[in-house]
Amino acid sequence: MEELGHPERHFVSVHIGGSNGKGSVAAMVYSALREAGWRVGLYTSPHLVDVRERMLVNDLPISREAFAMWTERLKPCIEATGASFFEATTAIAFADFAARGADIAVVEVGLGGRLDSTNVILPLASAVTRISLEHTDYLGPTLEGIAREKAGIAKPGVPFVIGEADSGLAAVLEEVALGVGARVVKVAPGEVYAGPLALYGEHQRRNAAVAVALLEALPTPYRPDECAIRRGLARAVVPGRFERRGTWVFDVAHNPDGIGVLVAAIRSAGLRRPVHALVGILKDKDWRQMLALLAGAVDRLVLCQPPTAPAERRWSLEEVGEWVRTWKGAGSQATIEIEPDFDAALEAVRQGAATILVTGSFHTVGDTMARLPGFAPLG
């Protein structure tokens, strides 16, 4: 940031973390701020097809030319410091927001919170949505430890919204936030948003309640009025969050908590049967539990290897096959097959399906969208 003249100081910001729901909350907050008339930047991760999806200003992604220019400008610094891809894209996003004159940026945490590269900002307000076991190699093996890492985005004197419904985890988040002098705002465990939403699912009503609390915690003049909030939430969309496109449904659920929410959405949506699912999961996720949950909600599972998944994080389809052969899925009628060739798997899952679900990771959803004409978020 110093190399670029601290672009993050050229706009105000909102900071959002959590294990699940943070992308949806970010989209809702962004949409409401746009409805209120602000020029708004949105930084999210990971992307589905094109890295430029991560950095928008008023719905327009960073241009290819600007992305190349900032990359070239930062290349010596990246090489000298050993900066990660995410650290580099964070710097590029903040430089782009400043260059394009964003009034306010909605910034989604990448991983954890305390040590995340987005944590260089001093936001007007921050929030943590909910906590689940994830990235245990980096964040620790317990929910309480993960909660402490995610609460690391709390800042002195800044409103800190807690969306976690579990009282024990919410208490951990509150303890850390109060310890640094943040002003804690708690969303009650049963509180949901009752207004119109573009995003589907009961879980999105909970996410919307967190978004509203975060928006209402903003100081004037940035706090949107009730009408702007209502319009924003009614229009907010996020690619890959129970996104229905004809016979296709795309959902980036990538841990057991996310899959549990997806299963509830499948059961309430009245999808046409049979439902076939194309599933590719990274090896550091609890894929056994995820597959068991999905098998109880769909009619057929085609397990695949998404091509863009990093080699060191790819699940072993041989190990998955052994598990499938020995798994005793009580109450599951789903057939499960494994197809290592992604294009063959994509063709196989379509055969005989009335609805095709694509899930398990951002890579699986993105790699599928990239192969379907007109489906990629940036066209």
∠ CA 280-284-288, rounded to 5°: 60
3-class SS at 12? strand
* Chain-centre distance for alpha carbon 96: 21
Distance CA(331)–CA(200), nearest Å, equals 27
User: Can you list the residues of the chain whose pLDDT is less than 50?
Assistant: none
CA nearest to 34, candidates 189, 172, 235, 213: 235
| pLDDT tens digits for range 18-73 | 998 999 999 999 999 999 999 999 999 999 999 999 999 999 999 999 999 999 99
Distance CA(237)–CA(300), nearest Å, equals 28
**Ordered DSSP codes for 180-218:** TT-EEEE--TT----S--SS-SHHHHHHHHHHHHHHHHS
* Chain-centre distance for alpha carbon 142: 21
3-class SS at 301? strand
Distance CA(40)–CA(160), nearest Å, equals 21
Distance CA(59)–CA(53), nearest Å, equals 10
Max distance between CA atoms of the chain, in angstroms, equals: 60
Count other C-beta atoms under 10 Å from residue 220's C-beta.
5
| Alpha-carbon distances, residue 323 vs 63, 134, 337 (angstroms) | 45, 22, 12
- Domains (range + CATH), the chain: 7-235 (3.40.1190.10), 243-371 (3.90.190.20)
Radius of gyration of the chain (CA): 20
pLDDT (0 to 100) of residue 331: 66
Distance CA(20)–CA(262), nearest Å, equals 12
Indicate whether this model's pTM tops 0.85: yes
- The two three-digit tokens of residue 337, written as one number: 């097959």
3-class SS at 146? helix
pLDDT (0 to 100) of residue 134: 75
| pLDDT tens digits for range 59-75 | 999 999 999 999 999 99
Distance CA(23)–CA(261), nearest Å, equals 15
